[in-house]
Every structure is written in C-alpha cells, then in structure tokens.
Amino acid sequence: MYAASEPAQAYLQARYPEFSEKYRVARIGTTAPIGAGNSRRLPVHVVSCCYISPVKRVPMLVDGLAELQRHGVELRWSHIGWGAEDYVSEVIAYARERLEPGTFEFLGHMESDEVRRWYAANPATFFSQMSESEGGLAASIQEALAQGLPVIVTSVGGVAVLADAEQQMFDGLLAADHTPTEFAERAELLLAVDDSTYRSYAAAAMEYWQQNCSAEVRAGGFAAGLRELSRRQ
C-alpha cells in the first residue's frame, strides 16, 4: 500500500502495525511549470491556491495579511480557487472587512494548466496556505515551489516533510494554531532579506520541486517500485 507522505506512512504503521512492512511512500507530483524562477521580492505579491472551504482556513490567511498591512507592508494578494457559493461569499465579505480596499482579488477556479500560465504571467513574492490538515504535500504547494516561490504554510500532515529538506529554502512552516502576529513576523523575515538571499530561496524551492515533486521523476520512481514488487511475487 502506498501513502502520499512519510507522516501518512507513519500513521498507517502506528494504526495497523501488523501490516507495517507493506506500507511505502509514493508522493503525488506535479507537472513542470512555465517560466519558472520569475518570483520576486518586491513589490509584495502574495498568492494562495485552494478550494475555499472551512478546512483550508482562508479567513486565517486574511487575518495574517491584515496584520502584515497593519505593520505597514504594502501588498497585493491573489487567491486562485473557488468553493460553495455561500461560503465563498462569506470569505470575500470578511476580506473586504479586514483588508485594505483594492489589495486583493479572488480569481475563481482554474485548471492546472491555467494555474501554470497564470504563475508565468504574474510574478509573485510568496505562496501561502493555512490548511488545518493535509494528507500529503499539497499539489498547490508543489506548484508554487516549482515556480520558485518561497512558501509560508501551516506544518500539518504531509506538509511537514518540508522541514527535512536538504535545500536551503526559506523556513515558512508555521504551527497550525499560529497567530496573525506570528504570520506577519515570518513574512517580514522573508521580505527583509536582500535580493541575492531571496533568489537563493527561490532557487532552493525549484531544486526541491525537481528532486521531490516532479511528476516525471515521481512517475519513474513509482514504476520502478512496482516492478520491484512484481519481482517479489
């Protein structure tokens, strides 16, 4: 049986130890980006991408961005993704209440090819996601890393694997119950670095994606694993 992340594998082994030798990790990869490496530190452009639902906690991101604005940071936020109309309307109303007018946009649903084209045409500063839970490393986070975006995200489920990255990526992992102030402080650490350091974070993000998240690389490894299993039968 394949799990989407190391934490998922550990959960299965702890829950069903009698089958512990049968669990393996096969991360879900993403397709190569378009125009990778076009991220930039300034002007500050934050992007998020998810289905808008309570578990994704978009209002928590709104609170963090509002705190960042309160600290005097001029920013623009773009969200990709939609959800149930009633809930989306609540989230948009909350953003209008908390954020400065004209500093955010909800772009609606996009297919994966559209997301890659949007990233290529719209340089951003960092990607953020406040999920309450994740099985593996979310595809949206992988797509952001592929583009060269540092990420500021909650360290839940499979997202925690980023803490073990060999690459010198920006440490944007936040506790699931972090405060808006903690979010703002982490973002300000990223924004305070010089352009050279920022570019090194972008390069590390792209390298991590290439080694760990590329669908082409992951598919090859998965196929090799299946062949190995078949030889054991």
Q: Which two tokens stand for residue 13?
A: 């082994």
Give bridge partners of residue 125 from the DSSP assignment: none
Which whole number is the average pLDDT over 1-24? Answer: 54
Least confident of 4-18, 96-110, 132-146: 4-18
Tell me how crowded residue 6 is: count the other CB atoms within 10 A of its CB: 16
Q: Report d(CA 47, CA 107) in Å as an integer.
A: 11
Whole-angstrom Cα Rg for the chain: 18
Higher pLDDT, 18 or 70: 70
State the burial class of residue 111 (Cβ atoms within 10 Å of its Cβ: 0-12, 13-18, 19+): exposed
Give percent of the chain above pLDDT 90. Answer: 77
| Pairing state between β 151-154 and 173-174 | parallel
Give bridge partners of residue 132 from the DSSP assignment: none
Contact criterion met (CB below 8 Å) for 25 and 5: yes
pTM for the predicted model, two decimal places: 0.84
pLDDT at 35 over 60: yes
Q: Say what angle helices 139-147 and 195-212 make with each other, to 10 degrees.
A: 130
Per-residue pLDDT tens over the stretch 86-127: 999 999 999 999 999 999 999 999 999 999 999 999 999 999
DSSP H helices in 148-214: 180-192, 195-212
Higher pLDDT, 223 or 188: 188
Strands (E), the chain: 2-3, 24-25, 44-49, 75-80, 104-106, 126-129, 151-154, 173-174
Q: How far is CA 189 from CA 41, 152, 182, 217, in A?
A: 12, 11, 11, 32
**Domains along the sequence of the chain with CATH:** 1-29+218-233 (no CATH), 33-213 (3.40.50.2000)
